Homo-oligomer: A and B are copies of this chain.
Amino acid sequence: MTSILALDFGGTKLAAATVNLGSRQWLRYERRLSPMNADANTDLEIMRSLIHSLLQDTKPTAIGVSFGGPVDATTGTVRLSHHVPGWENIHLKDLLEKEFGVPTYVDNDANIAALGEHRFGAGQGSDDLFYITISTGVGGGWILNGQPWRGFGGMAGEIGHVVVDPAGPVCLCGKRGCVERLASGPYMAQNAREVLVNEPKIGKILRDLVGDNLELLTGQLISEAAAMGDDFAQEILRKSAWALGVGIGNVANLVNPQLFILGGSVTKAGNRWWEILRHMARETALPEVDFAIVPAALGDDAPLWGAVALAQSAFE
């Protein structure tokens, strides 16, 4: 039986699964949180133990790997991880091919999630799509003409660092008003915190949710407070949806994909977030530029399913 081993090296979790070629159901599935103070070696050790538990004495026909950070997909080399030290220039493809003796394919999580949604999720039937994850960070992956588009240097899809408000707050990347700076969960929490520290009278519902400890603020709690009617939390969410909507409208004008697929925790922020986002994207795109914006279908498993699709390329 031809089976595929799919691996997901996320920033905070590790997952591995096996599937028979052509099946849409996992044969076996294991996941583990990355430990505090993880490095590349501890992540690789944990992944090895997941793999051995999954495979036992069997051997997969190919391995697909999603990595949470920049990857040279041509050579299967990890450039670095923004979350876990020690991943600089690790030849992950070579390492796994030597260890398991089967063809291995590696790509970054946004590209691979795009591929997963295209083959098995919300993007089935659409050959020109942009997948965006909005969570701790904001990243994207392209499918054009039915194939991953990684860019000339493998860096395409960085919608998180597209500037939408040059007068906005400063992002970690040094620029002002990047999409990620306004739309991601941690930055929404930071924006809320900075205002609430100085304005004791607003955001009552949000404050109650964290027992007045503003250090506990998260993007998710802002969504919850907004759903409970907190005006201030709604305003923070509005800015997130505004930034992402303008970014998407700009992308539509530039590349004109058929479909935008949105995944990641911030997409659970509620209907109002989606409404503002869709409105701003529509306003920003030219009237002749058509597109749809839909939620991702595969949830946390998008990278694993994308890894399956990538490994399937061995048989195509």
Contact = CB atoms under 8 A, between A and B. Distances in A.
B288 A152 contact: no
A151 B257 contact: yes
Interface stretch (A3-11, A26-34, A156-164, A219-227): A156-164
B253 A152 contact: no
B255 A255 contact: yes
A286 to B, nearest CB: 5
Could you say how many copies of this chain the assembly holds? 2
Interface string A280-312: 000110101111000000000000000000000
A291 B154 CA distance: 12
Contacts of A158: 253-254, 256, 286, 289
Contact of A254 (B157, B167, B288): B157
Contacts of A152: 128, 256-258, 290-291
Contact of A163 (B149, B164, B255): B164
A250 B243 CA distance: 14
Contacts of A144: 144, 149
Contacts of A165: 166
Contacts of A154: 256
Which of A153, A156, A253, A258 is the most central at the interface, judged by chain B CB atoms within 10 Å of its CB? A253
A249 interface: yes
A253 B162 contact: yes
A91 interface: no
Contacts of A254: 140, 156-159, 162, 251, 254-255
Q: Is the interface of A mostly helix, strand, loop or mixed?
A: loop
A251 B290 CA distance: 19
Contacts of A164: 163, 166
A234 B61 CA distance: 63
A153 B246 contact: no
Nearest to A289: B155
B163 A289 contact: no
Interface in A40-71: 70
B163 A288 contact: no
A175 interface: yes
Given A155-B288, A155-B290, A158-B256, 7 more contacts: A79-B288, A151-B256, A153-B256, A154-B256, A158-B289, A162-B254, A250-B250
